[in-house]
Amino acid sequence: MAAQQARSSEADPRSRFRVLGSDAKTQLAGFFSILIAEGRYS
């Protein structure tokens, strides 16, 4: 049981990291789209 619990706890941070990575990508995409929009209007 202990070995299985260790494996499952190892998988959690990786999945969280992937979610954070995708979040950062979407935030960067939104940030750049705002920059591009401001560049067009200015």
Q: How confident is the model at residue 40 (pLDDT cuts 50, 70, 90)?
A: confident
The pLDDT value given to residue 8: 57
Is 80 exceeded by the pLDDT of residue 32? yes
* Rounded distance between C-alpha atoms, residue 12 and residue 20, angstroms: 12
CA distances from 33 to 6, 11, 15, 21, 39 (A): 42, 33, 27, 18, 10
Domain ranges of the chain: 14-42
Q: What is the pTM of this model?
A: 0.45
